Structure 1
Amino acid sequence: MTVRLGTRGSALALAQAGRIRDAIQALGEPCELVVVTTQGDVSKASLAQIGGTGVFAGALRAALLAEEVDLVVHSLKDLPIDPAPGLVVAGVPVREDARDVLCARDGLDLAALPAGATVGTGSPRRHAQLIDRRDDLRVVDLRGNVDTRLGRVRDGALDAVVLSWAGLARLGRLDAATEVLDLESWPTAAGQGALALEVREADSDPATPIGAVIAKLTDPSARDAATAERRVLGLLEAGCAAPIGVASTVGEGSATLWASVHRPGGGRRLDRRRTVSFAADDRGAELAAAADALAAELLAAGAADLAPLGAQA
């Protein structure tokens, strides 16, 4: 059987899916990429206007349900929190670096950008974080693939853009980064740097051919950490317009989970953190408990008054 792997057609999506295809082939299983066009790929409107990052997942999920593909690969940060009926995120491979990076003209870092510098991003979270760090900046909405965004800096239209380390790394473009933003003070999107392998429910069992492949590709540490980060968003009922950063670190016997909730457009933020210890078999459960406590603390501190919560996307 040849595994049909569904993916978006952007350069980054193809690079990500190509890694999964190569890993599947290394297991001795034939695999081919099937490109699916999504609304997010053809629309020029801002992500908030067309429904948030979830617009990238809908067409892939439809192809999976229609049995046009056997497996789809998503950037986990772009996947809606609510599961799709009949589908399961069955695996998360080894995770790439979760940090954001600044790509600025003249090799500048964020502190060195001139007053009033123009920075592009399509993320409400990054927008708020930029203003919280530098309230003199002019932050503008930005769409397009990685090369398009970097090109806006090269041609002088923008002074800088904020992108993910993972995306640049997968495209071999880390040379464009002029500053790596510290995850401790700049938590990124829940699940950033991780890929999600989604299948039909019937294929999620490791006893099935597709399920067995996914089980071999899954990194349990990455899966548990990303699941906990996304659990925080789910408990906060955070929609696509909610500027929320969530990050984690996982060690041998302990893990730390932290989050920041920002006022839209910046100007105020809430930060909370939880560290847990665990035995080898309890990591997932302890991280889930930390996510529950973290979300409860944020809500008790007024997160719902600060950010637009209660609106899933």
Structure 2
Amino acid sequence: MSAASASGILRVGTRGSALAVAQTTVVANAIAKASGKDVELVTITTQGDTSRESLASLGGTGVFASALRDALLASECDLIVHSLKDLPTGAHPGLVIGAVPRRADARDALCAAEGMTLDTLPEGARVGTGSPRRVAQLLSRRPDLQIADLRGNVDTRLGRVTGGDLDAVVLAAAGLERLGRADAITEYFSLSDAPTAPGQGALAIEVRAGDERGQGALAKALASVDHVTTHAAVTAERDVLAGLEAGCAAPIGAHAQIDDGLFFLTATVYRPDGTDHLTSSHAATPDGMNARDLAVAAHDVAQRVVAELLALGAADLAPLGGIR
């Protein structure tokens, strides 16, 4: 146990953006309630926060995770909170995902001027996004759109619409709702038409390996806040990325859900310009609804989805084999 834990305070590492702080605060409050310990937030600046380059050129959204992980390994904090879609799929030495709380809305949302939807945007409208997947999905429906690379916090991005620089932006619905900005949403995209990034809408609590086990306060708190069906669903989605050797910013959408005893997973690989895509859907029947049985089903269904996508030619459609 760390000195901080022994002293009765758990230090929770977070990025300093308004969204990161808002979602980390929710997790920290849950951890405090479950552990009986006081918590404090430790703000950490990442490369993704300071660089103005596109996320794709920086190597994907994993740039948000590295500084947080360094701080955790250096015992500057006791746990860290990530947006799960920003977390690389490869295991990080010395660290584990200790818990995944219940997922919020996984959908993407359009925030457009004058209440417009994607179908009612004018010809040649300028739409902002920093995601290659969203670019491909937008262009597949509206090849006339002009796509602008988008960086900055949520208010900065929305400000480009209210300021008239852009006609619309696409953002994660969960982030807007966590910040109390759902009023800016003019259209929600369905997960069947626009599957989102693996893990979108979910948070990951990462800890030093071993801290998730045993009878300590932190281990008990992690077990309390972990939502087993969300954890299994995002595991399947992330297994698709790992199996395709695709980076976090690859044009791939995936969504898993557990319904009526069945484990469903659908994944789509897009050509970056939106002119083509491949989709695979499979289901599994878990032996039970406990964490172990759901994890087995998650890995099984993901392996079948990956095998089918590769057999259909996914590697010829999108850049795979990238940084995970």
SS at 2:45 equivalent: coil
Task: Establish whether residue 208 from structure 1 lines up as the match of residue 216 from structure 2.
Answer: yes
How far the C-alpha of 1:241 sits from its partner, in A, is 4.2
C-alpha distance in structure 1 between counterparts of 2:167 and 2:270, whole Å: 24
Q: Which residue pairs with 1:141 in the alignment?
A: 149
Is the Cα–Cα contact under 8 Å of residues 99 and 223 in structure 2 kept in the other structure? yes
User: What is the identity, as a one-letter code, of the residue corresponding to 2:96?
Assistant: V
C-alpha distance in structure 1 between counterparts of 2:73 and 2:286, whole Å: 37
Q: Which residue pairs with 1:259 in the alignment?
A: 267
Q: Which residue pairs with 1:274 in the alignment?
A: 282
1:1-313, aligned counterparts within 5 Å? 1-27=8-34, 28-280=36-288, 281=290, 282-313=293-324
C-alpha distance in structure 1 between counterparts of 2:120 and 2:266, whole Å: 28
C-alpha distance in structure 2 between counterparts of 1:107 and 1:114, whole Å: 12
SS at 2:205 equivalent: strand
C-alpha distance in structure 1 between counterparts of 2:266 and 2:224, whole Å: 29
SS at 1:202 equivalent: coil
- Unaligned segments of structure 2, at least 5 residues: 1-7
C-alpha distance in structure 2 between counterparts of 1:240 and 1:26, whole Å: 33
Is the Cα–Cα contact under 8 Å of residues 253 and 279 in structure 1 kept in the other structure? no
Superposed CA offset, 1:217-251 (max 9, x none): 10001100001100011000002442000112212
User: What is the identity, as a one-letter code, of the residue corresponding to 1:137?
Assistant: L
Q: When the two structures are superposed, what TM-score results if normalisation uses the length of structure 1?
A: 0.98
- Unaligned segments of structure 1, at least 5 residues: none
C-alpha distance in structure 2 between counterparts of 1:25 and 1:88, whole Å: 20
C-alpha distance in structure 1 between counterparts of 2:249 and 2:28, whole Å: 33
> Structure 1 residues 202, 279: CA separation in 2 closer, same or farther (over 3 Å shift)?
closer
C-alpha distance in structure 1 between counterparts of 2:114 and 2:121, whole Å: 10
How far the C-alpha of 1:276 sits from its partner, in A, is 2.2
C-alpha distance in structure 2 between counterparts of 1:75 and 1:233, whole Å: 16
User: What is the identity, as a one-letter code, of the residue corresponding to 2:296?
Assistant: A
C-alpha distance in structure 2 between counterparts of 1:135 and 1:42, whole Å: 32
Aligned length: 313
Q: When the two structures are superposed, what TM-score results if normalisation uses the length of structure 2?
A: 0.94
C-alpha distance in structure 2 between counterparts of 1:206 and 1:147, whole Å: 42
C-alpha distance in structure 2 between counterparts of 1:256 and 1:77, whole Å: 19
How far the C-alpha of 1:57 sits from its partner, in A, is 0.2
Identity score, percent: 55
How far the C-alpha of 1:312 sits from its partner, in A, is 1.9
Bigger mean CA offset, 21-30 vs 167-176: 21-30
C-alpha distance in structure 2 between counterparts of 1:113 and 1:206, whole Å: 55
User: What is the identity, as a one-letter code, of the residue corresponding to 1:6?
Assistant: G
C-alpha distance in structure 1 between counterparts of 2:229 and 2:137, whole Å: 27
| Dislocated runs of 4+, deviation >4 Å | none
Bigger mean CA offset, 63-72 vs 45-54: 45-54
> Structure 1 residues 25, 115: CA separation in 2 closer, same or farther (over 3 Å shift)?
same
How far the C-alpha of 1:272 sits from its partner, in A, is 1.0
Instruction: Give the CA RMSD over aligned residues.
Output: 1.1
SS at 2:222 equivalent: helix
How far the C-alpha of 1:206 sits from its partner, in A, is 4.1
User: What is the identity, as a one-letter code, of the residue corresponding to 2:12?
Assistant: L
Bigger mean CA offset, 62-71 vs 42-51: 42-51
Superposed CA offset, 1:34-58 (max 9, x none): 0001011111111112221000000
User: What is the identity, as a one-letter code, of the residue corresponding to 1:303?
Assistant: A
SS at 1:247 equivalent: strand
User: What is the identity, as a one-letter code, of the residue corresponding to 1:171?
Assistant: L
SS at 2:71 equivalent: helix
User: What is the identity, as a one-letter code, of the residue corresponding to 1:277?
Assistant: T
User: What is the identity, as a one-letter code, of the residue corresponding to 2:244?
Assistant: L
C-alpha distance in structure 1 between counterparts of 2:136 and 2:182, whole Å: 24
How far the C-alpha of 1:211 sits from its partner, in A, is 1.7
> Structure 1 residues 33, 283: CA separation in 2 closer, same or farther (over 3 Å shift)?
same
How far the C-alpha of 1:83 sits from its partner, in A, is 1.4
